[in-house]
């Protein structure tokens, strides 16, 4: 095969990775009772940035809550095709949410702008512990209280994912990942030697097949999802104690955090299917794109972006970091009403900004929008 001529730029040039300046969000969900132990190490491992100031519950200031947590550093993704900084949203969902309040909230008409902003769903939960009966059969495993609770939560979250897919017109548009946190379920019959051994290896085909059906293994959870009609979900085991070392399963696939990142990297985070404009590196072109110059929407994407941010913050304020199961006293209600009123005032200001700017000349509208956005973001 003939090598490219060294003097031919076209032959040696490589496609330039696109920058995605306004990506959709990564929504991370964890059970309310487990989030304080799961979320900090997960965010640190995923983004490389530790959680230094964990948010406190409005009801009980001494307790940490990650309900509506939106201030963590973004997830930086760099591939040969694109680079972007994905904002991270974290929320909590009670395992005992018999009223399915979380599902109801996210399926409501008011939450449409929140659903529109979600680019991928990552659900994290402590992996249910294996018990001796699980080693001989899985007939009763799915009926265990802890397993049934997690399956019910996944059914509700999957309904939200299906709604998002439906609104975007394509099944599987939003990746879904269930991360089982804890030591991996390695079947004794699979011939896998202890981690760290120089002779670690996978057994023959018989062991591989058994590993797929062992209760509470990855294959077992995938089978449960299939039986429940929950399609498009990937199950990944992640042990925080493993560090960043890459391991692969018997099929050569990455495991743990490297696999989680791989799933997120292969997703298109653009807000529109058209992707990023060719002049994304141009400062003027980027400002025009963000402010929606020449479009009928007035200030375009930047205003819409702020609306999504404020709605997410409003949901966090209204729920106050609680389970959604307990009653709230009058003092907390008064505080929340004040915060919600503040949010409503900001939303009205956003609408006023769009209305006032629609009749301005483009250059003047650009300056007006930039200043208005700065003022509001400063207040947020």
Q: What string of H, E and C letters represents the secondary structure of 178-224?
A: EEEECCCCCCHHHCCCCCCCCCCCCCCHHHHHHHHHCCCCHHHHHHH
* Same domain for 197 and 298: no
Does a structural domain hold residue 11? Answer: no
The predicted pLDDT at position 189 comes to: 36
The whole domain housing 300 covers 283-379
Low-confidence ranges of the chain (pLDDT < 50): 1, 10-12, 134-136, 138, 187-212, 273-299, 321-331
Does a structural domain hold residue 136? Answer: yes
* Same domain for 48 and 138: yes
The CATH number of whichever domain residue 219 belongs to comes to: 3.40.50.11960
Number of domains in the chain: 2
Does a structural domain hold residue 164? Answer: yes
Does a structural domain hold residue 71? Answer: yes
* Same domain for 313 and 249: no
* Same domain for 160 and 217: yes
The predicted pLDDT at position 197 comes to: 39
Distance CA 41, CA 66 (A): 13
β-strand pairing of 82-86 with 75-78: antiparallel
The predicted pLDDT at position 244 comes to: 65
Q: Are 225 and 233 in contact (CB under 8 A)?
A: yes
The predicted pLDDT at position 358 comes to: 62
* Same domain for 291 and 255: no
* Same domain for 194 and 164: yes
DSSP state of 137: -
Contacts of 231 (CB under 8 A, 6+ apart): 171, 172, 225
Does a structural domain hold residue 210? Answer: yes
The predicted pLDDT at position 329 comes to: 47
The predicted pLDDT at position 323 comes to: 44
Distance CA 199, CA 174 (A): 39
pLDDT digits (tens, 9 = 90+) for 301-328: 555 556 556 556 655 555 554 444 444 4
Does a structural domain hold residue 59? Answer: yes
SS3 call for 130: coil
The predicted pLDDT at position 258 comes to: 93
The predicted pLDDT at position 84 comes to: 94
* Same domain for 205 and 101: yes
Q: Which CB contacts under 8 angstroms, 24+ apart, belong to 264-268?
A: 264/26, 264/75, 264/77, 264/86, 264/120, 264/122, 264/175, 265/77, 265/79, 267/119, 267/120, 267/175
* Same domain for 178 and 109: yes
* Same domain for 260 and 288: no
* Same domain for 134 and 160: yes
As a whole number of Å, the CA-based R_g of the chain is 24
Joined together, the tokens standing for residue 139 give 């007939």
Does a structural domain hold residue 144? Answer: yes
Boundary-marking domain end, from 202, 235, 265: 265
Does a structural domain hold residue 201? Answer: yes
pTM of the model: 0.67
Boundary-marking domain end, from 204, 232, 265: 265
> What pairs with residue 120 in β-bridges?
26
Boundary-marking domain end, from 231, 265, 299: 265
pLDDT digits (tens, 9 = 90+) for 246-257: 888 887 889 999
Please, what is the Cα angle at 257 between 253 and 261, to 5 degrees? 80
* Same domain for 367 and 300: yes
The predicted pLDDT at position 346 comes to: 66
Q: Is 6 exposed, middle or buried (0-12, 13-18, 19+ CB in 10 A)?
A: exposed
Distance CA 349, CA 344 (A): 9
Q: Are 120 and 267 in contact (CB under 8 A)?
A: yes
* Same domain for 251 and 295: no
């Amino acid at each position: 095969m003939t090598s490219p001529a060294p003097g031919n730029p076209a032959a040696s040039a490589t496609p330039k990775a696109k920058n995605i300046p306004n990506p959709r969000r990564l929504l991370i969900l964890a059970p309310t009772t487990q989030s304080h132990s799961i979320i900090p190490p997960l965010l640190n491992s995923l983004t490389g940035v530790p959680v230094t100031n964990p948010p406190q519950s409005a009801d009980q200031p001494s307790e940490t809550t990650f309900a509506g947590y939106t201030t963590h550093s973004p997830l930086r993704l760099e591939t040969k095709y694109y680079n972007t900084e994905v904002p991270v949203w974290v929320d909590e969902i009670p395992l005992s949410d018999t009223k399915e309040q979380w599902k109801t909230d996210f399926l409501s008409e008011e939450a449409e702008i929140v659903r529109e902003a979600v680019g991928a769903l990552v659900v994290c939960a402590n992996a249910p512990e294996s018990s001796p009966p699980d080693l001989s059969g899985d007939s009763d495993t799915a009926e265990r209280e802890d397993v049934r609770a997690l399956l019910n939560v996944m059914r509700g979250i999957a309904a939200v994912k299906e709604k998002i897919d439906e609104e975007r017109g394509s099944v599987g548009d939003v990746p879904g990942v269930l991360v089982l946190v804890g030591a991996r379920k390695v079947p004794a019959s699979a011939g896998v030697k202890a981690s760290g051994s120089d002779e670690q290896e996978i057994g023959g085909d018989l062991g591989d097949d058994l590993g797929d059906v062992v209760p509470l293994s990855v294959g077992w959870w995938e089978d449960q999802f299939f039986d429940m009609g929950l399609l498009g979900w990937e199950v990944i085991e992640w042990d925080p104690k493993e560090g960043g070392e890459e391991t692969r399963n018997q099929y050569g696939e990455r495991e743990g955090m490297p696999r989680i990142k791989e799933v997120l990297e292969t997703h298109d985070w653009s807000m529109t299917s058209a992707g990023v404009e060719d002049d994304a590196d141009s400062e003027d072109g980027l400002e025009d794109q963000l402010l929606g110059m020449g479009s009928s929407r007035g200030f375009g994407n930047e205003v819409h972006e702020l609306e999504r941010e404020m709605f997410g913050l409003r949901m966090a304020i209204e729920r106050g970091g609680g389970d959604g199961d307990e009653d709230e006293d009058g003092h907390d209600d008064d505080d929340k009403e004040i915060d919600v009123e503040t949010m409503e005032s900001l939303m009205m200001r956003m609408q006023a900004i769009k209305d006032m700017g629609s009749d301005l000349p483009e250059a003047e509208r650009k300056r007006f929008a930039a200043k208005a956005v700065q003022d509001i973001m400063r207040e947020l």
